[in-house]
Structure formats: C-alpha cells, structure tokens
Structure 1
C-alpha cells in the first residue's frame, strides 16, 4: 500500500504550482480530485495541452460551477470527506466563493488547507497578478540570471518559482498531516511563490554578501564550468569546481602550465578570469566530437555530461536506465523520480477528461 493511500485531496488550482504539488501527492497514493470550472476547465488544457497531461496524470476531474448553489453543496459534502484542500486563487477569491479556510474548517476541522499564491496572503504585493518571471524578479533571482555580462534574463528553461513552490507545498502538507495524527487538528498553510524562491536563493544570497557584493559578471562567471560546443556541433557540460578536477583537465589537455598559472590556481581565481579561461578551453573542445570527449573526460575523472536536447533523452543511457519516461498519445510523461526500497509509487495513468469523474464522485456523495 502506498503511504498516502486513503488520503483524499481536493485541488482548486490551475496552471502549474497547485497541480504539480498535488501530482506529487497523487504519485504517493493520494486520491486527488481536480475541481474544474465549466466550460473549459483548467486553462492549461488549451494553452499547453502537453504540459496539462504531464502534471494532471493520476487525478480525477470533477467539473463544478462554484457560483451555483447546488455545485457549492457538492463541494461542501466533498470537503467533509477530504483530508486536504489545495487552492491557487488570488488572496480573497476563495473567501468570495464561500470556501476560505475559516468557512471550510466549519465543515471539516481536521482538513489541511493549503493556499498557493504569488506573494502569499499578506504584504503590499499580495493582490497583484503574476507569473514565474515576476517572482524571479521580486526574489532577486532574476538579477543574477542570464548572461553574466548581460541584463537580467529569464533563461532558466523551467518554471523555477512554480516548481520549487510545489515542492514546499507538498512537503508542508505531508508534515501537517503527520502533525494532525498527534493533535487531531488541521492547519492552514500560506505558501507564497516569491517566499519559496527566496528560500532557494538563500545559499546564493549568502555567497553574494560574503564576497563583498560583486557585480553580476564577477559573481556569476564560472571558469572551466559550463557548456562547451564540440567539433560535431553538439555540446557537453564540464564542471571543474574543485582543484583536483581542474588539475585532471589540465593534464588531459597536456596543459599543466594552466594549472600553475596564478590566475587559475583556485576556484575563485578561475571565476575571476572566466572569460579568458573558457575561451582557451572552447578551442580545445572544438578539436574532437562530443562522444570522444566524453570517453576522455570520464577516464580522466573529470565531471562531465552530454547536453541532451529533449529529443535525445530516450537515447541517453543514464536516462533510459531509470525507466522514468512513459509515452501516452506521443506525449512523454515523467514518473515520480525517487527510488524507494519498500515503496513503489503509483503507476502512471493519463490525465482525466474534463468532468470525467463527475458520475463516480457524485454517486459517492449520494447524488
């Protein structure tokens, strides 16, 4: 039996943060009921259908118009049977619909109620609309993103604020359910995306101040660290942070003189001269194909990896060995990534159609 089997979760959220949070819970056995409004449901269904399939698998869909009294009664009865409610509205919207925490706890005092919003439920930005790039901006992360020599740029590739918030929310929900076992009481969780992202930025923030607040170019430049193009037009990633790996690379290139240069002797010094050093290394990496370099670098015990494009993932031996990617209607769905010794996460099921489970859920509530 999965650890969250028997836990019922109501999801009142769209797009990415809330749904990814409840996906984590679903993969660990929770029954997640995604409540969607008619006629179109979660906007992600139309905006990014492939993403919708990815983050809403293993869930049930209940289509309700929460402005209708009959639909509200359905949700009230569902709340009475549930353990967790996750909502992703702007602050105040759930209350206007009649499903704020104080109201919901009158139906079920043991419920764990999790509100996910851009800036949390309080503060001068609380009511502002926003997306990932806005929370990157407020948290300071955007200021150090992009080209070290260029302006702030949201080049991360994935929605960092949304996803880190999902993970904090899922962890906090699980902890609250554990605490409930002792107290018998539910809890209210106020999860702000900018707050979560600031927490992730904590180590970098500490580094910034300890180094005397350097300019972005000095702070973010990395010597002998990054993606390098090879002769065949492909890319590999090399990461010589520790001096032992830097010395190994110099021996491999037969450039021990570089290891002895004062400018490159330490990680901090290599970063100070990153542009100059990386230009030297780039010329060497252009002399051989990526697979040739991978063999040489591995044999020399240097941190290296291929830079895979999405269409290459199935062909990477490490990725394919983990059996994490499954295809449904040509859409790749990624399974829960952690390998347990005694737990096998939920097998992947496709995302539900809008309102697919209305008959089942309504019948279970006596309608």
Structure 2
C-alpha cells in the first residue's frame, strides 16, 4: 500500500524503529541510518530484538557529524517522503537538519520527531525511559496491586509503543493529506509522555466520574483477574457485564452472590472485589486448567487461559490466524490487521 513511499529513519532503540517497521510492513522503503560506532544500540542488547524491529529496512552507516556523510544524508532527503528522528530536542538543529534546514532541501517532506517529553516545555531536555513517561502520565500511579504502591507492572513498554503508534498514525494522515491537498511540509512532534497520557483518557474520565476514588477503590475488580488452577496454571476471568457475572456465578456454584445486594452492580463488585476474588481463588484452585476450560467452553463467558511467551507458537487460535510465525527465538509477529481487497498485501 505504501509502495513508492521512501522513509529515512534516524531512530534507535524501540519507539522510532517500531513505527518505521510498521511503515515497512505496509510497503514503504525504509532506509535506516546508523552511526559508525556500532549502529543502533539494540544490536548489542538482546539477541533477536534488532531483527524484529528492523527486519524489512535497508541499513546505511553515516556519521552525522562528518561533513561528507551529512551531504549524503541531504541527498537522501531530497527525494524522500518521510524523515523520522528520535534524538533529544535540539540535536537535529545542531547537526544542521532541523525542520527549517530540511524544508529548504525538500519542502514536501513529512518530518516526524519522537522524543520523551516533546520539543518544548520544562521537561524537554530530561532523559527518560518508559517508566519515567508512565510516571509523568499518571499510568504508574494506578499500576500494580490496588492496595499497593505504584509498580512497573505493565509487562510491555507502554509509552514507547504508544508513541510508535501515534507517530505512525500521524505520518499516514500526513501522507493522505499530501495526496488529497497536494500539500506537504508537515512537521510532527510526538511525545512519549503525552502518548501514554492519551491512553489514560478513559481512566481519567472514570476517575472524575467516580468522585476521585482512592487507588484501592478505583482499581479493584471483582471477578476480573488471573486465578491459579489446581495444576498451577493461570486462567483469566473478566466478568464485567451483568449477564456474564450471573452466568459465572451459576456455573461455578456462587449463586448466593447473586442474592446479595453487595454485588448487584459492577461498581459494587469493584468496591467488594476482595470478597469476590477470595471466593473465586478457592473455587478455581479445585480443578485443573483443562477441566475449567472444558466447563467454561459450554457457557458464553469471557474466560481464557493465560499464555506464557513460550506458549504463543502453540496456541491453536493464534496459529490458525497466522498471528505468529516461526518457533523458539526465531518467532516473528506479522502485521496484525488482516486486509482484503488490497492486492498482494503480505509483507511477512
């Protein structure tokens, strides 16, 4: 779909490379510019991670402080559609590749900057990682156990990946605008902290809608969580709606809970989650995962096994959808949206 679109990628680590990998999967030509002293640091951090993030790109080595290599980059930019960079604010200007400098080379270029806190503001020059951006965005304050302290418990790099997606969405929108209006020259300023903040919007609305509850009141969930089975596997239960709650109670022998006004709404089940979940823990621990899955298969409930990473390639649904390819440390995750009506859309 993006065949003919040329992207120059001046990013390292996760947020920028994840975004440009999406563009490459959609058909764009991505030229990844790496520094001469070892390239992207991800190459030397975790085996296989570099290949996952950069598997469909062309890599070139340029020293952006070297005048000859700077001229090479300028030539690349003259016939490119997109430039994406992930330096701290001010670095590109010092190198001679700020948005005004680049606009003189290519007025039609879409220029995207990804940084921790954005291109302006009191925090713009601060270093940071995913944890810091989640802290500033408020995500960390509601993470971890409802009765516990803020905890780095997300499992994935939420702010990094949110910024990747917002950068990609913005670039695609700018490309569409360019086609429709023949206008170019868009500058995009993506902040990791603000991208995480955007994902907080539903929680923020809920927080004020519920009159600013404590973390325990806010984040406790009755009949919603992961519970340990008899054979030491976890099963996820997410009975939010009344119909699911009622069916669940009838299925596992908790009918008495349906007669108690303490549990007759989702809000009340949040307020009394400890009572509910303690009972569920006891019940779920009495049967194996296979036994519970067989029981729940017969009723319409949002319940599933909890896969570990080494279970993913064996999951029958993921296999049937071609959602994961390979095995062991050679696993790859193809582009997740399935598209029809687009000729030969298959980049993996």
Q: Name the TM-score class by shorter chain.
A: over 0.9
2: CA distance, partners of 1:328 / 1:78 = 37
The answer for the alignment partner of 2:305 in structure 1 is 306
Describe the SS at the equivalent of 1:326: coil
Question: With structure 1 as the length reference, what TM-score do the two structures score?
Answer: 0.92
Moved more, 321-330 or 242-251: 321-330
The answer for the alignment partner of 2:347 in structure 1 is 347
Q: Is the CA contact (8 Å cut-off) linking 1:4 and 1:29 kept in structure 2?
A: yes
Q: Is the CA contact (8 Å cut-off) linking 1:23 and 1:58 kept in structure 2?
A: yes
Number of corresponding residues = 346
The answer for the alignment partner of 2:43 in structure 1 is 45
1: CA distance, partners of 2:184 / 2:347 = 32
- The equivalences for 1:186-335 within 5 A come to 186-327=185-326, 330-335=329-334
Unaligned runs of 5+ in 2: none
2: CA distance, partners of 1:69 / 1:46 = 27
Pair 1:162–1:345, CA change in 2 (3 A): farther
1: CA distance, partners of 2:272 / 2:253 = 20
Describe the SS at the equivalent of 2:83: strand
The answer for the alignment partner of 2:178 in structure 1 is 180
The answer for the alignment partner of 1:154 in structure 2 is 152
Deviation at 1:322, TM superposition (A): 1.3
The answer for the alignment partner of 2:89 in structure 1 is 91
Question: With structure 2 as the length reference, what TM-score do the two structures score?
Answer: 0.97
Pair 1:247–1:328, CA change in 2 (3 A): closer
Deviation at 1:57, TM superposition (A): 1.2
Describe the SS at the equivalent of 2:88: coil
Q: Does 1:338 align with 2:337?
A: yes
Deviation at 1:298, TM superposition (A): 2.4
Describe the SS at the equivalent of 2:84: strand
Deviation at 1:290, TM superposition (A): 0.7
1: CA distance, partners of 2:314 / 2:340 = 27
Deviation at 1:323, TM superposition (A): 1.2
Q: Deviations over 1:124-153 (max 9, x none)?
A: 000101110000000011000011111001
> Greater relative contact order (Cα 8 A, min sep 6): structure 1 or 2?
1
Pair 1:91–1:311, CA change in 2 (3 A): same
Describe the SS at the equivalent of 1:33: strand
Q: Is the CA contact (8 Å cut-off) linking 1:27 and 1:345 kept in structure 2?
A: no
